[in-house]
Amino acid sequence: MIDRAMTAIRLGILGTGTMGRALARNLADQGHDIAVADADPAKARSIEGGRIAAFDDAAALLASLGSSRALLMMVPAGEPVDAALAAIRPALRPGDIIIDGGNSHPDDTEKRAGEFGRTRIDYLGFGISGGEAGARHGPSIMAGGSPDAIAKIAPFFESAAAKVAGRACFAHVGPAAAGHLVKTIHNGIEYAEMQLLAEAWILMRDGMALGLGDIHRRFGQWRESQIGSFLVEAAHEVLAKIDTDSGRAAIDLIADRTEQKGTGAWASEFALRLGVAAPTLAAAVFARNLSTGRSGIKPPAPTTSGAAGETLLLDLEGGLLAAKIAAFAQGFAVIDAAGRTKGWATERAAVARVWQGGCIIRAKLLERIVAAFERTPGLGNLVDDPAIAETVRGALPALRRIVSAATLVRLPVPALGSALAWFEGRNAPGVGADLIAAQRDYFGAHGFERVDRPGRHHFDWKTP
């Protein structure tokens, strides 16, 4: 629990790009005096006024904050963060708090926190989600770092964060790196849901030959259903957009390829590093890679229409529900594994509550996820919760039918398919790992476990 004791600490923001300026204005609206600076002084000056004071450089900004000061860095991840830290280091002193509010890699954050900690400067990692609108009107904030340092700056960020049922979507999730790890997994789940909705889109458009108006109405119904989420809302609104120049639907003018900025891939890398099965998160990343590397040959897909098409349409909601549960379960499994490996006390219920507002993956499903982790804080996996498991049992038949139908009409559904395979793998009588273990021992003498006795064993495979 964070100590809410107020201090006289003052906050500055270094970096007034899209997110930095939105956060500065949000904080000023909450009654905080904010000092800002940017590598381009004109950008900082452009938002000066009221409670926002602009300075020409970081040193002048820091000097303006007095004796108890915190600096929020809204700087692109990687080398720009290191360059900014090198520039401000001479002006820092023991007791200062540095907050990295960008999408930094958790390993980088852990290293920086250790280096600054040796000079008695607190380095915090804040995962901030919600895009420009969220930053301006209420983001979701996953705070990592020293509890004492976070307690000092919590009043700023609790006031600016999104609110759900009167609760701020701001939580301390562990050490500095934990804040960015939780944000990384947030983005991995974001990739997964976007891919799941994209697969539903092509199933309706190409598999069932539905018109844009019908598909738009279906997304509108889903907004109010159990799979309702910010991303469902975004898809619904995207499909209604008309290009004013051509009069055509905007979606029809957008090339069928997209990029990634890295955080989705990092989520999968952490899953691999920690030995956690998160295939739906990985499938979403690979699907984006595939979108930019296709041959361009597009054979016509047979359509599913009539009664079969109506059945598939009814199955989509249930199938998406099961697949979204899989994506969240996989993401929380990575967070849990990271916490156990690193010794972080990351409370999964608190993470789920923070994600209920302000962030990109906010969804109705999170209310049930919060309840599951509150019922059983030590829950092994989200789908082990009895209520969630019952929902999955009811939705899995629909997911099986969706994946089967998509395969028969030659439509790629890697995220839906991986979610189904993940569920089936958890419940199957066998997954073939016995044959893999035997092969590894055959060519590499790696050994294996036996079903009839403990320990590691090895066969001489060349002897009859």
Give me the active site residues, please: 183, 190
List phi, psi (to 5°) of 441: -70, -35
Any bridge partners for residue 124, and if so which?
99
Per-residue buried b or exposed e for 410-423, using 16+ beta carbons within 10 Å of the residue's own CB: ebebbbbbbbbbbb
* Euclidean distance between CA atoms 150 and 143, whole angstroms: 8
> What type of residue sits at position 48?
E
301 near 228, Cβ under 8 Å?
no
Longest dimension (CA), the chain: 86
Q: Which residue carries 């969706």 as its tokens?
A: 402
What are the angstrom distances between the C-alpha of 329 and each of 117, 279, 393? 34, 11, 15
* Euclidean distance between CA atoms 68 and 4, whole angstroms: 17
List phi, psi (to 5°) of 167: -105, 135
> What type of residue sits at position 181?
L
Per 3-state DSSP, the chain is made up of helix, strand and coil in percentages (nearest 5) of: 55, 10, 35
- Token pair for 330: 């996989």
Can you spell out the DSSP letters for 420-453?
HHHHHHHH-S--SHHHHHHHHHHHH---EE-SSS
Closest CA to 73 of 52, 106, 99: 99
